[in-house]
Amino acid sequence: MTQIDFYTIMPISVLVLCASLLLLLEAFYPKGKQKQIAFFAAFGFALTLGLSISQLGNSYSGFGGMVVLDGFSNFLNILFLITGLLGVALASGYLQRMNINKGEYYVLMMFSVAGMMLMSQATDLIITFLALELLSIPLYVLAAFALNRTESEEAGIKYFLLGSYATGFIVFGIALIFGATATTSFAGIVAAIAQPATNLTLLLVGGGLVLVGFGFKVATVPFHMWTPDVYQGAPTSVTAFMAAGAKAAGFSALLRIFATLFPSFAADLMPILAVLSALTMIVGNITAIAQTDIKRMLGYSSIAQAGYILMAFVPFGDPAIRATAVAAGLFYLVAYTITSFGSWGVVIGLEREEGKGLDINDYAGLGKKYPWLALAMTVFMFSLAGLPPTLGLVGKFYLFRAIMEGKLYWLALIGVITSLISAYYYLRVIVIMYFKNGDPIINKDNLLYMSIALCVVITVVLSFMPSFLFSWASNAMLTMF
């Protein structure tokens, strides 16, 4: 391994090393003091985040071109590490309160984030598959982490079985792509596409199967059925981590694969992606209206948000707007990640050990008794709905602008209409908090509420100065072959 190879994967290597050391530390740590393991995990994430920030502006290719470090992967690595830090903050008090406080939780989370980072840097389909498994297997375990709850075990089994089934589609797709091009390297596939002997039909079918597999990972319709059940059954801190981090990782792989390998097939893939985006927005938002459990509602909301993010993929074949579309997708990923963690943080703040506090009506009276927490939830609901003054509004503006530049007016119209539909169930939470009487009980967790406050500040402040974030996203260029 050369120095360039090491530098290309240095943050991933450091994070894996920290996770391995933490696993050894946890084995010898006194029982009953596992909560302190969270601080060691946060240190590992913070150290790796510092290394990733130090690599900004650099571009390297390692391991024979199988892994790259570019602006795109740098941007996403920083986002993934932030999700790790927020995931630790949300889980620290929650795990102790639910009597599932074990150090392995943070080790699994760190390995999962390492898989996310590797996925954003992969430029070979084999590495993409390995990164996917490194990301997914810890999440299967985390979903079933609350062994004292049947719902959690059921969520873990469902996620594992359906996730393995979706992985099969990806492997089959990779096999067909290899059969058509005789390579799994992104650069080799791009070169093979230009050769007249390449079986383009086989290649396109393989790309379609890869899209199906990753469609499951990011919960697009019609591959979304697992999402509400797993989100409801898994420990809420795991759900928060999955809803933000795993979704961002799946989209990072889709962006790199389809923007790099298949721009020449844009005419064939654009209608498929547009229909998937429209269906995901429609089904996710309409189904969320009927939900009374806050976790299921946010689960269907997560499906709808996947539809909005998928809008960034639709015009990827047009070189004139490809950069704008990718930047809009990255910007919205950041907006959704911060908002999602904040809203799940409020859910964790009200959830009690006996499983109460998860009905939407349990939020009645929150505006009177805990106005600061109700204000935070209001900001997050506004952001998810795309209302001012929030980062979600700015993110949707950039997405709709990219779609309009691609002349997909009908898709932009569906995006606007479904955003109006979503306002119903988001604002319903706000109405219940402020206009219904109740006596909500919140948990004592200073670290959790500090994280919620930070998410509120970022969501509001960045909405008034989004140019910095969008400029950074615009400069997060993909390595093209």
Q: pLDDT tens-digit profile of 381-407?
A: 999 998 888 999 999 999 988 888 878
The answer as to whether 221 is a domain residue is yes
Instruction: Tell me the residue range of the domain where 450 lies.
Output: 3-475
The answer as to whether 413 is a domain residue is yes
Cα–Cα separations (whole angstroms), residue 233 to 191, 205, 354, 459: 46, 35, 14, 28
Contact 315, 270 (CB under 8 A): yes
Give residues with Cβ within 8 angstroms of 367, minimum separation 6.
374, 433, 434, 435
Q: pTM of the entire structure?
A: 0.92
The answer as to whether 480 is a domain residue is no
Q: Distance (Å, rounded) from C-alpha 462 to C-alpha 213? A: 34
Cα–Cα separations (whole angstroms), residue 305 to 243, 256, 280, 426: 10, 20, 8, 13
The answer as to whether 267 is a domain residue is yes
% of residues, the chain, pLDDT over 70:
95
Contact 326, 255 (CB under 8 A): yes
The answer as to whether 188 is a domain residue is yes
Q: Distance (Å, rounded) from C-alpha 144 to C-alpha 232? A: 12
What does the mean pLDDT of the chain come to? Answer: 86
- Count: domains in the chain: 1
Indicate if the pLDDT at residue 118 is higher than 60. Answer: yes
pLDDT tens digits for range 136-155: 999 999 998 888 788 888 88
- Supply φ then ψ for residue 67, to 5 degrees: -135, 140
- Supply φ then ψ for residue 62, to 5 degrees: -130, 165
The answer as to whether 446 is a domain residue is yes
Residue whose pair of structure tokens reads 């929150």 in the numeric block: 366
Query: Kind of pairing, strands 67-69 and 60-62?
Result: antiparallel
pLDDT tens digits for range 439-479: 888 888 888 899 999 999 999 998 888 888 888 888 877 66
pLDDT tens digits for range 147-197: 878 888 888 888 888 888 888 899 999 999 888 888 888 888 888 887 877
pLDDT at 480: 61
Cα 318 versus chain centre, distance: 25
| pLDDT level of residue 110 (50, 70, 90 thresholds) | very high
Three-state SS at 249: helix
Please report, in angstroms and rounded to a whole number, the separation of the first and last CA atoms in the chain: 23
Give residues with Cβ within 8 angstroms of 275, minimum separation 6.
none
| pLDDT level of residue 281 (50, 70, 90 thresholds) | very high
Contact 120, 210 (CB under 8 A): no
Identify which of 367, 475, 372 has the alpha carbon closest to the alpha carbon of residue 430.
367
The answer as to whether 481 is a domain residue is no
The answer as to whether 289 is a domain residue is yes
HSE-CB of 458 using CA atoms within 13 angstroms = 17
Indicate if the pLDDT at residue 254 is higher than 60. Answer: yes
pLDDT at 469: 86
